[in-house]
Amino acid sequence: MCCLWSLFPLMGEAAGKDFVVVIDAGHGGKDPGAVGKKAKEKDINLNVALALGKLIQTNCKDARVVYTRKTDVFISLDRRAKIANDAKADLFISIHTNALPKGRVARGTETYTLGMARANENLEVAKRENSVILVEENYQERYAGFNPKSSESYIMFEFMQDKYMEQSVSLAKLIQGQFKSHARRVDKGVHQAGFLVLRATSMPSVLVELGYISTPDEETYLNSKKGVEALSRSIYNAFLDYKKTHVTTSGAASSKNSPGMKVEQAATDVAPSDKAVKNADKAVVKDAKKQTLRPVFKVQILSTSSELPAGSSKLKGVKASYYKENGLYKYTTGDTEDYNEILRVKRRLEQKFTGAFIVAFQGGKKMDVQKAIREFKNQK
């Protein structure tokens, strides 16, 4: 299963073409992440990421490792996902270190998959990790007006497509099991939360929180050789277990066409209808939508600080209208009263706009998406 290795100079990719794993060391460069009394999150993350990659490269001839970073450099969240997608990765593992406000103490590891946070503490973890976009240039445009500090922005993760959820949860459980049995760490479980770095990846993906840099004894452990070795070995063991289960005898990952979350799967398996395509091709004009008592669903594709000219390249050939909110021009397309229809439109548009998400209006005014979906269901 695992044996000799050879090393390519670019991106630290190990020989082998069958199974690709992207290892993402969170934060870096101008973004230190959480800061302890002695260490910085970005350094702990990188140490574990490199140790994990070395274990895979050294022992597994049929796996190829790609790093989002191997040094102390800043990489935007959307760029990290693009690296994974361009590599046609079979797995994406993002490595992070947790923290709590001063005066609070916690210990243990936890692993996340993409989804809606069901507990406030999970939402707070996502808010902290997503806040990195605030140091990126033009983040409001790049992330379609997403505000990492606003709970309202996270509503979209309630309905977000993740057809690899089953595989992502499987890997997350394996990682947590290894943290508990091999590294002897406190098991804080597997959770869902709205992490931007996981949102645009096209493969099973997890985000690992190694421990609490804000707790003195945890910080010492995380920053030690013993800690790095135990944590990286735990993730490596989980990787091997996952690979045994989810790779066919031909070497191809079996997760590529697996079922996912029930919320969107049935709708997104169907190609957009001609009606949906036509609705998505309206001219770029100021928002003057039909007034109706029923909620109207749209797909928001981008936000800009100024109005775009007709035929702007930023719209990538999609003709849309806009509404103004908080000083931003927010472009939408695909108007429909049918929620299942807008899911199909969104899926189609995600090929061009990775940050596309659904918004809803009633009587021409923006409304809560969850409420709009409830009203749609009640009409049926």
Q: Per-residue pLDDT tens for 88-140?
A: 999 999 999 999 988 899 999 999 998 877 778 888 888 888 888 888 877 77
pLDDT digits (tens, 9 = 90+) for 349-366: 887 887 788 899 998 899
Q: Quick one: which of 102, 99, 104 has its CA closest to 124?
A: 99
Q: What is the residue extent of each domain of the chain?
A: 19-257, 270-379
pLDDT at 22: 97
pLDDT category, 16, cuts 50, 70, 90?
Answer: very low
Inter-residue contact 326 to 337 (CB < 8 Å): no
Inter-residue contact 184 to 103 (CB < 8 Å): no
pLDDT digits (tens, 9 = 90+) for 64-75: 999 999 999 999
Q: Mean of the pLDDT values across residues 207-225? A: 97
Domain spanning 270-379: CATH 3.30.70.1070 = yes
270-379 has the same fold as 19-257:
no
pLDDT category, 380, cuts 50, 70, 90?
Answer: low
pLDDT at 160: 58
pLDDT category, 253, cuts 50, 70, 90?
Answer: low
* 346 pLDDT more than 80: yes
Q: Mean of the pLDDT values across residues 166-180? A: 95
Q: What is the DSSP string of 67-93?
A: ES-SSS----HHHHHHHHHHTT-SEEE
pLDDT at 128: 86
Task: Please state, in angstroms and rounded to a whole number, the distance separating the CA atoms of residues 314 and 304.
Answer: 10
pLDDT category, 5, cuts 50, 70, 90?
Answer: very low
pLDDT at 2: 52
**More confident call, 101 vs 18:** 101
pLDDT category, 212, cuts 50, 70, 90?
Answer: very high
* 255 pLDDT more than 50: no
Q: Mean of the pLDDT values across residues 330-342? A: 90
Task: Please state, in angstroms and rounded to a whole number, the distance separating the CA atoms of residues 198 and 172.
Answer: 13
Q: Mean of the pLDDT values across residues 262-275? A: 33
Inter-residue contact 33 to 42 (CB < 8 Å): yes
Task: Please state, in angstroms and rounded to a whole number, the distance separating the CA atoms of residues 31 and 25.
Answer: 12
pLDDT at 156: 66
* 211 pLDDT more than 70: yes
Query: What is the residue-averaged pLDDT of the chain?
Result: 82
pLDDT at 271: 36
pLDDT at 187: 96
pLDDT category, 150, cuts 50, 70, 90?
Answer: confident
Inter-residue contact 77 to 190 (CB < 8 Å): no
pLDDT at 282: 46
* 264 pLDDT more than 50: no
Q: Quick one: which of 68, 94, 35, 22 has its CA closest to 222?
A: 35
Q: How many residues does the chain have?
A: 380
Task: Please state, in angstroms and rounded to a whole number, the distance separating the CA atoms of residues 93 and 232.
Answer: 12
pLDDT category, 261, cuts 50, 70, 90?
Answer: very low
Q: What is the topology classification, in CATH, of domain 19-257? A: Aminopeptidase (3.40.630)
Amino acid at 4: L
Q: Mean of the pLDDT values across residues 284-313? A: 74
Q: Quick one: which of 301, 293, 290 has its CA closest to 367?
A: 293
